[in-house]
């Protein structure tokens, strides 16, 4: 804590100079409320409270009426014993600075303070986004709003709203009302709600880019408008997950007339410069099966489905442009025949992003940032839009790499769990997009992530608070000991990664499948598992004589070792707990093996040769069961290896 730390009290007040506007006033009020929430100090300026200005905010000028890609978002923030000074060219920078200030505030021996600071800050990339899929599971607006609050806090500036897919068309169209009437089960956003959400986002320095995915991922459109499809109807809203056959008929003029009207309507509703047309994962089966389409391809020399999709996009691009927008699409829309004005969102890899940049296209990275795949924050943090494949790019080409977006696909999340699937890991991606490339230390990132995670909870996100009620739902009328046993297990378990949940499934899930299982309940990244693994590495890496570390490991391993006895009393009472019965056995087994390994290591003895067989126990525990990964198993495996190899733990 620097000597200049400013105490935070009721009298902490704020003044503005330079440009002011209602949005900035609201941002300051919001900041005050957030600061009050974080600290519990009621910051209510009242006549009887003698106040002294402790924060001065200077803003040079207004930002664009519609927030534009690449606007100045920089700010400077100085905290001295004289007070806090925040300066920014535009309200965007001022808002970013306020959130930095909120993060800086910390408890200390004398109470809450703003520590001394001198920060000059601006983003590395101009496009820092989060995509949320509102189609597969509908997400109420208040959930989106709190995620926008979270985005503001970590300085993300693009909300990419995936509004249509096979499982639902979620935006109200007044021109084609059967889109939402037949394609949404009544779960859609009205145009008034959308306008309000865009205003909410703008208030937080966030652009809203809508996505209407064509020609695939569009079954929900065809329930109301079967004539758009390439195959005969009728259609039903899709309830399953996966890639499906229905696709817009790219050979029908009616399709383009429809899209022209719809996109025209939506282009007016969404003021942002960019308009996302999807374009991913067309399997072409309906095209193959439709003689009229096949004939059209022959007549027009369209040699395959990729070419047909390129043709579709070439027809689409002028429509989007006519309504004043820049078209953006997933990897698959990239075709050299398209004008350079389109932007590519790469879900296939940084290579295709570099390739696009070389071809003259602007692009965003999303590959490596699919939040629903369950990667660790460290793994997301290591991804960089300027990956190895971009080293050969010229400066101009590099500037075409606009940034990236974290993506939250919603097959296995709903409004109860979605926050926990996005946060806090998304904050690591946001930091990658904002901070200099050189800021890469993982341990330091995790320290900040823990603090940001707490701040985010005070903003209303539920990525921590969702957990206990879900455990209680699984436990039902359990004893406190049984609930503790469930929590102890759940704390060190993660869902299987990537698309392994699909592979390991026993029944086909649908939109109506309850997301209440242990795999839905556990955090995507286990803090307890990570900390144990770190402790094992510290123990093995330093000296096995470190009694404190050994004691910590022993406490943890003992608790795991004892846990299954209680868990197995719960499992028969709850179908949901039962699913983790095998993993619970594994946890106790690795707890026991870990304790044995620790004993050898503490004694400095080589374990007897037969101890090596315990490797198999641990190996079996690393195999997922019930779609669950037992996170500490690899670390226990390292303990066993060290013990078996003669207890020479420093030589690992």
Distance (Å, rounded) from C-alpha 586 to C-alpha 576? 18
Options 60-68, 84-92, 104-112, 257-265: segment touching a copy of itself (CB under 8 A): 104-112
Residues in the chain: 652
Does 323 participate in binding a copy of itself (rule CB under 8 A)?
Answer: no
Q: What is the C-alpha end-to-end distance of the chain, expressed in Å?
A: 38
Does 542 participate in binding a copy of itself (rule CB under 8 A)?
Answer: no
Q: How far is CA 180 from CA 187, 236, 249, 512, in A?
A: 8, 13, 20, 19
| DSSP line for 8-70 | P-TTEEEEEEE---HHHHHHHHHHHHHHHHHH-------TTS--EEEEEEEE-S---SS--TT
CB 438 within 8 A of CB 409: no
Task: Provide, rounded to whole angstroms, the least separation between the CB of residue 108 and a copy of itself.
Answer: 7
Kindly tell me which residue out of 26, 82, 111, 616 binds a copy of itself, with binding defined by CB under 8 A.
Answer: 111
| DSSP line for 625-636 | BTTEEETTHHHH
Does 106 participate in binding a copy of itself (rule CB under 8 A)?
Answer: yes
Task: Provide, rounded to whole angstroms, the least separation between the CB of residue 529 and a copy of itself.
Answer: 12
Q: Which residues pair with 208 in a beta bridge?
A: 159
Does 579 participate in binding a copy of itself (rule CB under 8 A)?
Answer: no
Task: Provide, rounded to whole angstroms, the least separation between the CB of residue 453 and a copy of itself.
Answer: 9
Looking at the Cβ atoms of 101 and 365, the one nearer to a copy of itself is 101
Kindly tell me which residue out of 83, 126, 476, 646 binds a copy of itself, with binding defined by CB under 8 A.
Answer: 476
Of 199-218, binders to a copy of itself (CB under 8 A) are none
Neighbours of 175 (CB within 10 A): 11
Identify the H or E element spanning 88: strand 83-88
Q: Residue 10: name the closest of 106, 112, 115 by CA.
A: 112
Q: Which residues pair with 276 in a beta bridge?
A: 211, 328
Looking at the Cβ atoms of 7 and 264, the one nearer to a copy of itself is 7
Looking at the Cβ atoms of 110 and 301, the one nearer to a copy of itself is 110
Kindly tell me which residue out of 66, 107, 243, 538 binds a copy of itself, with binding defined by CB under 8 A.
Answer: 107
Does 531 participate in binding a copy of itself (rule CB under 8 A)?
Answer: yes
Looking at the Cβ atoms of 449 and 496, the one nearer to a copy of itself is 449
Does 110 participate in binding a copy of itself (rule CB under 8 A)?
Answer: yes
Does 45 participate in binding a copy of itself (rule CB under 8 A)?
Answer: no
Does 2 participate in binding a copy of itself (rule CB under 8 A)?
Answer: no
Task: With CB under 8 A as the rule, give the number of residues binding a copy of itself.
Answer: 53
Q: Within the chain, how many helices (H) and strands (E) appear?
A: 26, 19
Does 572 participate in binding a copy of itself (rule CB under 8 A)?
Answer: yes
Does 236 participate in binding a copy of itself (rule CB under 8 A)?
Answer: yes
Cis preceding linkage at 424, omega within 30: yes
Q: How far is CA 87 from CA 16, 19, 60, 125, in A?
A: 10, 11, 8, 20
Does 46 participate in binding a copy of itself (rule CB under 8 A)?
Answer: yes
CB 310 within 8 A of CB 282: no
Residues 393-422, one symbol each (x = binds a copy of itself by CB under 8 A, - = not), give -----------------------x------
Looking at the Cβ atoms of 142 and 503, the one nearer to a copy of itself is 142
Distance (Å, rounded) from C-alpha 231 to C-alpha 215? 13
**Long-range pairs of 349-353 with CB within 8 A, sequence gap ≥ 24:** 350/383, 350/384, 350/385, 350/387, 350/388, 350/389, 350/390, 351/387, 351/389, 353/385, 353/387, 353/389, 353/390, 353/401
Neighbours of 574 (CB within 10 A): 18
Q: How far is CA 199 from CA 149, 194, 196, 246, 324, in A?
A: 13, 9, 5, 34, 20
Looking at the Cβ atoms of 504 and 549, the one nearer to a copy of itself is 549
Kindly tell me which residue out of 25, 33, 42, 650 binds a copy of itself, with binding defined by CB under 8 A.
Answer: 42
Structure tokens at 640: 């066993």
Kindly tell me which residue out of 95, 209, 553, 576 binds a copy of itself, with binding defined by CB under 8 A.
Answer: 576
Task: Give the number of C-alpha atoms closer than 13 A to the C-alpha of residue 276, restricted to the C-beta side.
Answer: 25
CB 533 within 8 A of CB 442: no
Does 464 participate in binding a copy of itself (rule CB under 8 A)?
Answer: yes
Distance (Å, rounded) from C-alpha 264 to C-alpha 176? 12
Does 515 participate in binding a copy of itself (rule CB under 8 A)?
Answer: yes
Does 549 participate in binding a copy of itself (rule CB under 8 A)?
Answer: no
Kindly tell me which residue out of 76, 472, 569, 615 binds a copy of itself, with binding defined by CB under 8 A.
Answer: 472
Looking at the Cβ atoms of 364 and 576, the one nearer to a copy of itself is 576
Distance (Å, rounded) from C-alpha 124 to C-alpha 399? 11
Distance (Å, rounded) from C-alpha 347 to C-alpha 479? 46
Does 44 participate in binding a copy of itself (rule CB under 8 A)?
Answer: yes
Does 58 participate in binding a copy of itself (rule CB under 8 A)?
Answer: no
Looking at the Cβ atoms of 41 and 356, the one nearer to a copy of itself is 41
Residue 252 sits at the vertex; the CA angle it makes with 250 and 258, to the nearest 5 degrees, is 90
Does 104 participate in binding a copy of itself (rule CB under 8 A)?
Answer: no
Q: Which residues contact 377 (CB under 8 A, 6 or more apart)?
A: 424, 425, 427, 428, 445, 446, 449, 525
Task: Provide, rounded to whole angstroms, the least separation between the CB of residue 476 and a copy of itself.
Answer: 4
Does 444 participate in binding a copy of itself (rule CB under 8 A)?
Answer: no
Kindly tell me which residue out of 273, 435, 568, 573 binds a copy of itself, with binding defined by CB under 8 A.
Answer: 573
Does 565 participate in binding a copy of itself (rule CB under 8 A)?
Answer: no
Task: Provide, rounded to whole angstroms, the least separation between the CB of residue 239 and a copy of itself.
Answer: 8
Of 169-188, binders to a copy of itself (CB under 8 A) are 185
Does 643 participate in binding a copy of itself (rule CB under 8 A)?
Answer: no
Catalytic residue (choose from 71, 116, 181, 281): 281
Kindly tell me which residue out of 454, 505, 545, 652 binds a copy of itself, with binding defined by CB under 8 A.
Answer: 454
Active site residue 405: no
Options 280-288, 487-495, 570-578, 593-601: segment touching a copy of itself (CB under 8 A): 570-578
Does 40 participate in binding a copy of itself (rule CB under 8 A)?
Answer: yes
Looking at the Cβ atoms of 100 and 106, the one nearer to a copy of itself is 106
| Chain positions contacting a copy of itself, by CB under 8 A | 10, 37-42, 44, 46, 48-49, 106-111, 185, 236, 239, 416, 447, 450-451, 454, 457-458, 464-465, 468-469, 472-477, 480-481, 511-512, 514-516, 527, 531, 552, 572-576, 578
Residues classed as catalytic: 281
């Amino acid at each position: 804590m620097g000597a200049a730390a400013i105490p935070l009290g009721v009298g902490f007040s704020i003044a503005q100079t330079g440009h002011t506007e209602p949005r900035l006033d609201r941002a300051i009020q919001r900041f005050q409320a957030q600061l009050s929430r974080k600290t519990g100090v009621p910051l209510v300026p009242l006549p009887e409270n003698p106040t002294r200005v402790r924060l001065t905010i200077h803003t040079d000028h207004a930002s664009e009426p519609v927030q534009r890609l690449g606007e100045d978002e920089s700010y400077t923030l100085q905290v001295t014993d004289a007070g806090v000074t925040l300066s920014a060219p535009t309200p965007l920078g001022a808002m970013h600075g306020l959130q930095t200030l909120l993060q800086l505030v910390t408890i200390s021996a004398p109470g809450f303070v703003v520590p001394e600071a001198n920060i000059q800050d601006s983003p590395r990339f101009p496009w820092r986004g989060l995509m949320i899929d509102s189609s597969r599971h509908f997400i109420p607006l208040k959930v989106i709003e709190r995620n926008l609050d979270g985005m503001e806090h970590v300085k993300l500036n693009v909300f990419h709203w995936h509004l249509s897919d096979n499982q639902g068309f979620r935006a109200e169209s007044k021109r084609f009302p059967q889109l939402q009437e037949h394609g949404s089960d009544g779960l859609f956003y009205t145009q008034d709600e959308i306008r309000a959400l865009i205003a909410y986002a703008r208030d937080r320095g966030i652009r809203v880019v809508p996505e209407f995915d064509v020609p695939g991922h569009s079954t929900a459109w065809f329930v109301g408008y079967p004539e758009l499809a390439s195959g005969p109807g009728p259609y039903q809203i899709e309830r399953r997950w996966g890639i499906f056959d229905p696709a817009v008929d790219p050979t029908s003029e009616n399709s383009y007339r429809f899209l022209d009207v719809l996109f025209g309507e939506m282009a007016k509703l969404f003021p942002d410069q960019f308009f996302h047309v999807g374009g991913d994962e067309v399997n072409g089966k309906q095209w193959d099966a439709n003689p009229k389409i096949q004939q059209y391809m022959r007549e027009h020399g369209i040699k395959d489905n990729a070419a047909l999709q390129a043709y579709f996009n070439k027809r689409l691009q002028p429509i989007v442009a006519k309504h004043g927008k820049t078209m953006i699409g997933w990897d698959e829309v990239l075709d050299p025949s398209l004008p350079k004005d389109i932007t590519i969102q790469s879900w296939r890899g940084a290579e295709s992003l570099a390739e696009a940049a070389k071809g003259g296209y602007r692009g965003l990275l999303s590959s490596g940032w699919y939040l629903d795949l369950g990667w660790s924050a460290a793994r997301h943090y290591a991804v960089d839009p300027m990956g190895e494949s971009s080293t050969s790019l010229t400066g101009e080409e590099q500037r075409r790499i606009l940034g990236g977006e974290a993506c939250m696909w919603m097959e296995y999340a709903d409004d109860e769990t979605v926050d926990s699937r996005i946060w806090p890991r998304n904050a690591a991606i946001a930091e990658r997009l904002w901070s200099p490339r050189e800021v890469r230390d993982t341990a330091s990132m995790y320290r900040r992530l823990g603090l940001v995670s707490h701040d985010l909870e005070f903003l209303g996100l539920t990525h921590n608070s969702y957990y206990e009620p879900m455990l209680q739902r699984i436990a039902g009328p359990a004893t406190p000991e049984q609930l503790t046993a469930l929590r102890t297990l759940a704390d060190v378990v993660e869902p299987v990664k990537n698309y392994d949940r699909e592979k390991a499934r026993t029944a086909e899930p649908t939109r109506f499948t309850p997301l209440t299982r242990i795999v839905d309940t556990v955090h995507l990244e286990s803090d307890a598992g990570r900390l144990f693994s770190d402790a094992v590495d510290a123990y093995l890496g330093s000296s096995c004589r470190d009694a404190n570390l050994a004691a910590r490991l022993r406490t943890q391993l003992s608790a795991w070792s004892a846990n299954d006895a209680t868990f197995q009393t719960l499992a028969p009472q709850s179908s949901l707990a039962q699913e983790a019965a095998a993993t619970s056995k594994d946890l106790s087994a690795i707890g026991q093996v870990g304790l044995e390994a620790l004993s050898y290591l503490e004694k400095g003895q080589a374990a007897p040769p037969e101890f090596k067989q315990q490797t198999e126990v641990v190996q079996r525990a690393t195999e997922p069961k019930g779609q669950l990964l037992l996170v500490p198993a690899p670390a226990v495996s390292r303990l066993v290896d060290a013990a078996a190899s003669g207890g020479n733990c420093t030589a690992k």
